[in-house]
Amino acid sequence: MDVPIKISVIVPVYNVMAYLTRCVDSIRKQTYRNLEILLVDDGSTDNSGALCEKFALEDKRIRVFHKENGGSSSARNLGIEKATGDFIGFVDSDDYIEPEMYERLLAMLLKENLLVAQCSRDEIDEQGNRMPDVCTPPEAQVLVESEDFLRELLMHRGDCSFCTKLLRKDLFTIEQFPVGALNEDFHLLVKMLTREESAVPGIACIPGQAYHVFYRPDSNTRDKNRFSRVFADNIDNADMVLALVDKKYPELSEIAFRFGIFQRLDYLLHIPIAQMTGDNAFYRRVVRDLRHGWWRAMKNPWLTKKNKCYHTLFAIAPKGIRVLHKKLKHIE
């Protein structure tokens, strides 16, 4: 008798009392029943940890792990270590999913004999309203080869989130999420798409938005009053992907170079003007990169005239352009 395939769903939990019940209930109601739910309490200081234990008493498929606070990546990695399933999925603790999500993803994986399947996602605000689409879902099931999927990511059209995906567990034996980094999903997915051994040959995409992101404007990466470290991490990721693409997919090199320019311009458009100083080594590096890469950017077919104009202005006088930009915004 064949042993049914098991799915492990990993949920990092940190101070989410207000949202956790909706999240866990949506996983418990999955039409695919042979799954385990791993709730990893990442050192919560509210009652989230106790709520996790309550869920475990109600459903034997739920296992709870408590750890010191180390961030989402470390919580996910602990969940991977403890997972006993054949496939792994991730759900953020303030989000929720449609009842048939994992059943549909698994069916697609088995049908095409692939390692990764993906659905689309939408964003829901605090009033329950759908926000503009983050990623446009396909109209029908489609198989996207790794090179094409990477191209879409680099053109800011793809979805790097692991929460919308179901993956074979053995994909995580080589490397896991980088602890302490932001935008860790992009980092790990690019590694999986480009590595020499056990690479992901392609991703199966199903239609429909089965994953619902709860949009919290006060989150670390969305708070407009804070200059998040994510802008610097995005530049490091861009440099990483350019080096990997040069080796594995050289035909994507200029697209990857364009991606790096965008990350640097994004950094310069968000860094507080007071931090644009000579003793800020990372800031100096970003400006130096724009200046050294200016001629290559001017010849890049993927950059528009407007992109090249921004590149030139920020390469010449980044702080002056930001001051002018701020004044113009006040006039508006």
| Residue 222 resides in a domain | no
40 and 172 share one domain: yes
Domain C-terminal end among 214, 249, 282: 214
Region of poorest pLDDT, from 99-108, 156-165, 211-220, 253-262: 211-220
Question: To the nearest whole percent, how much of the chain has pLDDT over 70?
Answer: 95
175 and 273 share one domain: no
| Residue 2 resides in a domain | no
| Residue 221 resides in a domain | no
What's the sign of the alpha-carbon dihedral 295, 298, 299, 302? positive
Q: Is 239 exposed, middle or buried (0-12, 13-18, 19+ CB in 10 A)?
A: middle
Domain C-terminal end among 214, 247, 273: 214
Region of poorest pLDDT, from 129-138, 219-228, 266-275, 295-304: 219-228
List CB contacts of 237: < 8 A, sequence separation 6 or more.
183, 186, 187, 190, 263
| Residue 192 resides in a domain | yes
What is the per-residue pLDDT across 202-237, written as a single tens digit (0 to 9) for each?
999 999 999 999 987 665 454 554 577 899 999 999
Range of the domain at 264: 230-331
44 and 143 share one domain: yes
Question: To the nearest whole percent, how much of the chain has pLDDT over 90?
Answer: 80
| Residue 184 resides in a domain | yes
* Mean pLDDT calculated for residue range 262-277: 95
pLDDT, residue 42, reads: 97
295 and 251 share one domain: yes
Beta strands (DSSP E) in 164-292 are: 165-168, 202-214
What's the sign of the alpha-carbon dihedral 186, 187, 193, 194? positive
35 and 107 share one domain: yes
Assigned token pair, 61: 């498929």
Q: Higher pLDDT residue, 3 or 193?
A: 193
| Residue 135 resides in a domain | yes
List CB contacts of 148: < 8 A, sequence separation 6 or more.
none
Give the CATH number of the domain where residue 156 resides: 3.90.550.10
179 and 250 share one domain: no
Residue 48 has pLDDT above 50, yes or no: yes
31 and 107 share one domain: yes
Region of poorest pLDDT, from 93-102, 120-129, 252-261, 305-314: 120-129
pLDDT, residue 36, reads: 98
User: What SS3 state is found at 37?
Assistant: strand
243 and 199 share one domain: no
Total tally of structural domains belonging to the chain? 2
Residue 290 has pLDDT above 80, yes or no: yes
Q: How far apart, in whole angstroms, are the C-alpha atoms of residue 180 and residue 69? A: 11
172 and 272 share one domain: no
122 and 199 share one domain: yes
| Residue 25 resides in a domain | yes
| Residue 223 resides in a domain | no
182 and 135 share one domain: yes
83 and 206 share one domain: yes
Q: How far apart, in whole angstroms, are the C-alpha atoms of residue 53 and residue 298? A: 57
Q: Higher pLDDT residue, 52 or 224?
A: 52
